[in-house]
Amino acid sequence: MDARGNRTLDTHSVIIGYLCWILGFTGAHRFYYGKQITGTLWFFTGGLLGVGWLIDLFLIPSMCAQAERRYVAGPYDYTAAWLLLTFLGYLGFHRFYLGKWGTGLLWLLTGGLFVFGWLYDLWTLNDQVSDANVLAIRD
Protein backbone atom coordinates (compact mmCIF):
# COMPACT_ATOMS: atom_id res chain seq x y z
CA MET A 1 0.00 0.00 0.00
CA ASP A 2 1.20 3.50 -0.76
CA ALA A 3 0.82 6.60 1.45
CA ARG A 4 -2.75 7.14 0.18
CA GLY A 5 -3.83 3.58 0.91
CA ASN A 6 -3.78 2.47 -2.74
CA ARG A 7 -2.49 -0.98 -3.60
CA THR A 8 0.91 -0.84 -5.30
CA LEU A 9 2.27 -3.46 -7.65
CA ASP A 10 5.51 -5.19 -6.79
CA THR A 11 8.42 -4.90 -9.19
CA HIS A 12 10.98 -7.19 -7.57
CA SER A 13 10.81 -10.22 -5.28
CA VAL A 14 12.76 -10.91 -2.10
CA ILE A 15 12.48 -14.64 -2.82
CA ILE A 16 14.01 -14.26 -6.29
CA GLY A 17 16.66 -12.04 -4.73
CA TYR A 18 17.64 -14.80 -2.33
CA LEU A 19 17.65 -17.36 -5.12
CA CYS A 20 19.98 -15.07 -7.08
CA TRP A 21 22.03 -14.57 -3.91
CA ILE A 22 22.92 -18.26 -3.93
CA LEU A 23 24.98 -17.35 -7.01
CA GLY A 24 25.64 -13.93 -5.48
CA PHE A 25 29.39 -14.13 -5.77
CA THR A 26 28.66 -13.48 -9.48
CA GLY A 27 26.64 -10.36 -8.62
CA ALA A 28 23.36 -11.84 -9.91
CA HIS A 29 21.23 -10.50 -7.05
CA ARG A 30 22.80 -7.06 -7.33
CA PHE A 31 22.07 -6.87 -11.06
CA TYR A 32 18.51 -8.02 -10.38
CA TYR A 33 17.97 -5.14 -7.94
CA GLY A 34 19.53 -2.56 -10.28
CA LYS A 35 22.91 -2.22 -8.58
CA GLN A 36 25.02 -2.53 -11.71
CA ILE A 37 28.32 -1.13 -10.41
CA THR A 38 28.46 -3.34 -7.34
CA GLY A 39 27.10 -6.25 -9.38
CA THR A 40 30.06 -5.88 -11.71
CA LEU A 41 32.41 -5.56 -8.74
CA TRP A 42 30.95 -8.75 -7.19
CA PHE A 43 31.30 -10.51 -10.55
CA PHE A 44 35.02 -9.77 -10.83
CA THR A 45 35.93 -10.23 -7.15
CA GLY A 46 33.77 -13.21 -6.17
CA GLY A 47 31.47 -11.11 -4.00
CA LEU A 48 34.42 -9.23 -2.48
CA LEU A 49 36.06 -12.57 -1.75
CA GLY A 50 32.85 -13.85 -0.18
CA VAL A 51 32.66 -11.19 2.54
CA GLY A 52 30.28 -8.90 0.63
CA TRP A 53 28.30 -11.93 -0.45
CA LEU A 54 27.69 -12.91 3.20
CA ILE A 55 26.78 -9.36 4.20
CA ASP A 56 24.24 -9.25 1.34
CA LEU A 57 22.33 -12.05 3.04
CA PHE A 58 21.05 -9.35 5.42
CA LEU A 59 20.84 -6.51 2.85
CA ILE A 60 18.54 -8.19 0.32
CA PRO A 61 15.26 -6.94 1.88
CA SER A 62 16.49 -3.33 1.74
CA MET A 63 17.80 -3.79 -1.82
CA CYS A 64 14.35 -5.07 -2.79
CA ALA A 65 12.65 -2.08 -1.14
CA GLN A 66 14.96 0.32 -3.01
CA ALA A 67 14.18 -1.39 -6.32
CA GLU A 68 10.44 -1.19 -5.54
CA ARG A 69 10.74 2.59 -5.12
CA ARG A 70 13.00 3.09 -8.13
CA TYR A 71 11.25 1.13 -10.89
CA VAL A 72 7.76 1.41 -12.33
CA ALA A 73 5.36 -1.52 -11.99
CA GLY A 74 3.12 -2.41 -14.88
CA PRO A 75 2.19 -5.17 -17.29
CA TYR A 76 5.80 -6.27 -17.86
CA ASP A 77 7.14 -8.39 -15.02
CA TYR A 78 10.72 -7.77 -13.90
CA THR A 79 11.23 -11.33 -12.68
CA ALA A 80 10.04 -12.83 -15.98
CA ALA A 81 12.35 -10.51 -17.91
CA TRP A 82 15.30 -11.42 -15.66
CA LEU A 83 14.66 -15.15 -15.95
CA LEU A 84 14.50 -14.83 -19.74
CA LEU A 85 17.72 -12.79 -19.79
CA THR A 86 19.50 -15.21 -17.47
CA PHE A 87 18.61 -18.42 -19.25
CA LEU A 88 17.77 -17.35 -22.82
CA GLY A 89 19.33 -13.90 -23.08
CA TYR A 90 21.77 -14.86 -25.81
CA LEU A 91 18.69 -15.76 -27.91
CA GLY A 92 16.97 -12.44 -27.23
CA PHE A 93 13.86 -13.88 -25.54
CA HIS A 94 13.81 -11.09 -22.94
CA ARG A 95 13.75 -8.56 -25.78
CA PHE A 96 10.87 -10.36 -27.50
CA TYR A 97 9.03 -10.30 -24.15
CA LEU A 98 9.43 -6.50 -24.02
CA GLY A 99 8.20 -6.12 -27.59
CA LYS A 100 11.62 -5.25 -28.99
CA TRP A 101 11.32 -7.50 -32.04
CA GLY A 102 14.13 -5.93 -34.08
CA THR A 103 16.82 -6.27 -31.43
CA GLY A 104 15.33 -9.59 -30.35
CA LEU A 105 15.96 -10.95 -33.85
CA LEU A 106 19.43 -9.40 -33.83
CA TRP A 107 20.20 -11.13 -30.49
CA LEU A 108 18.79 -14.39 -31.88
CA LEU A 109 21.01 -14.27 -34.98
CA THR A 110 24.18 -13.11 -33.21
CA GLY A 111 24.07 -14.93 -29.87
CA GLY A 112 23.23 -11.84 -27.85
CA LEU A 113 25.21 -9.57 -30.16
CA PHE A 114 28.28 -11.73 -29.61
CA VAL A 115 27.71 -11.71 -25.81
CA PHE A 116 28.38 -7.95 -25.52
CA GLY A 117 24.68 -7.14 -25.93
CA TRP A 118 23.84 -9.66 -23.24
CA LEU A 119 26.30 -7.93 -20.88
CA TYR A 120 24.75 -4.57 -21.78
CA ASP A 121 21.34 -5.95 -20.87
CA LEU A 122 22.62 -7.03 -17.44
CA TRP A 123 23.26 -3.34 -16.83
CA THR A 124 20.06 -1.97 -18.36
CA LEU A 125 17.26 -4.55 -18.10
CA ASN A 126 15.51 -2.97 -15.10
CA ASP A 127 15.40 0.37 -16.92
CA GLN A 128 14.17 -1.33 -20.10
CA VAL A 129 11.30 -2.99 -18.21
CA SER A 130 10.50 0.23 -16.36
CA ASP A 131 10.41 2.20 -19.64
CA ALA A 132 8.17 -0.45 -21.26
CA ASN A 133 5.82 -0.26 -18.25
CA VAL A 134 5.63 3.54 -18.46
CA LEU A 135 4.77 3.34 -22.17
CA ALA A 136 2.18 0.63 -21.58
CA ILE A 137 0.54 2.61 -18.76
CA ARG A 138 0.40 5.76 -20.91
CA ASP A 139 -1.34 3.95 -23.77
Instruction: For 120-135, give the DSSP string.
Output: HHHHHHHHHHHHHHHH
Q: Give the lowest-confidence range in 19-28, 38-47, 70-79.
A: 19-28
Q: How many CB atoms lie within 10 A of CB 3?
A: 6
Alpha helices by DSSP H, listed for 1-139, are 14-22, 28-32, 36-49, 51-70, 78-88, 93-97, 101-114, 116-138
Q: What mean pLDDT, rounded, does the chain reach?
A: 90
Q: Give the model's confidence band at 26: pLDDT under 50 very low, under 70 low, under 90 confident, else very high.
A: confident
pLDDT tens digits along 4-20: 444 456 899 999 999 99
Q: Give the lowest-confidence range in 20-24, 65-69, 117-121.
A: 20-24
Q: What percent of the chain has pLDDT over 70?
A: 93
* CA separation, residue 47 to residues 52, 97, 108 (Å): 5, 30, 31
Reference 28, options 75, 92, 76, 89; nearest CA is 89
Average pLDDT over residues 40-66: 94
Between 118 and 129, the more confident residue is 129
Distance from CA of residue 106 to its chain's centroid?
A: 21
